[in-house]
Structure 1
């Protein structure tokens, strides 16, 4: 059974620093979008994963795919983040697991449902944040497609486009070698975007 003293850190980041919930992604929200991985990794993910398992029993891989789908492929939690989260939830008594072929199938417990009921607002805010990230990701992609097709807007120079592709490939390669590098990569990209905006002013 879980010790309630452990609950203090569970989802605590959903209460601060993000505009009190999904509203923290206001405006275009690009910087917040770039921080999506960090937001999820710092605490919200535990409550989100528990809420998703409460919807239906899930495998770890299934949880990764569901979060990808809800964020329109903008954020994909690494196995190095998801599986320790599942271990935490199981040790806390909120979920149980049973073998399902080569995988484990996780199911919410009565205690997990009770904890979700106590923290329903935070759980719903976390799920809503995923939805908002997905909506903003779609808008950003639509805007980028519009930029490419609109003759009245300046096009991205070839060298800049090549550099962006190189950046994407470098980030993908780093993540492939070190899945836990997500927060560091995000920090670098956000800092670069902020530096570009400063130079415009």
Structure 2
């Protein structure tokens, strides 16, 4: 493991969903009980990436190492910092973060010191060297996170400016979206039919 460049440590370079899906499940949707931000809705098609597509395997290792390089951190702090940087739209689960920290410790990139019931992780000289080898890539990852956070704030501000939607109406809209998504999962070719039904419903609302 030691001395490997990031591109060599990706196990084939593929993307793995478990590195992206955190407490909030997916980018842009915070329903199904996954987080504190339920019902905020999509952040725009194409604008926000699914969490599972955001981080390639190993990217979280570099992000965690970069955060630990700033100051010694506990695992939960890493989760919180990433959540804060993205405006609440991405938070890796403990089941992803702690194995990542174990990997960094086994690679001698960090040391772990008992701090009560928790572990405090500190970067090593070898970890700093590895981080510097991948500095450009790490900076690009951090910029991406911050850009997502800025976009999240923009959408949050936009939502705040909108008239409040009654709870029952909001629930009905979420149910409609769930049903539409389920139909498309079963039959991807039904897109035109789904659009037709939604357009008809919108037309009826305009007339009423």
TM-score range, shorter chain: 0.5 to 0.7
Instruction: Encode CA deviations 1:79-102: one digit per residue, 9 max, x unaligned.
Output: 011001101111111111010111
Say if 1:64 and 1:127 are closer, same or farther in 2 by CA, change over 3 A.
same
CA separation of 1:10/1:137 partners in 2, compared to 1, >3 Å: closer, same or farther? same
Q: 2:2 is matched with which residue?
A: 2
Distance 1:29 1:111 in 2: 41
| TM-score for the superposition, normalised by structure 1 | 0.65
Q: Equivalences for 1:68-87 in 2 at 5 Å?
A: 68-87=83-102
Whether the 8 Å CA contact 1:41–1:81 is kept in 2: the answer is no
In structure 2, C-alpha distance between the alignment counterparts of 1:101 and 1:45, rounded to whole Å: 25
Aligned CA RMSD, in angstroms, stands at 3.7
Q: Is the 8 A contact 1:13 1:43 kept in 2?
A: no
Q: CA deviation at 1:2?
A: 2.1
Per the alignment, do residues 166 and 104 of structure 1 end up closer, same or farther by CA in structure 2, a change over 3 Å counting?
A: farther
Gaps of 5+ in 1: 15-27, 150-155, 171-187
Of structures 1 and 2, the larger Rg is shown by 2
**More helix by percentage:** 1
Return the offset for 1:39: 1.8
Contact 1:95 1:109 in 2 (8 A): yes
* Alpha-carbon distance between aligned partners in 1 of 2:58 and 2:173, rounded to the nearest angstrom: 31
Higher relative contact order structure (alpha carbons within 8 Å, sequence separation ≥ 6): 1
Structure 1 pair 165/199, CA: closer, same or farther in 2 (3 Å)?
A: closer
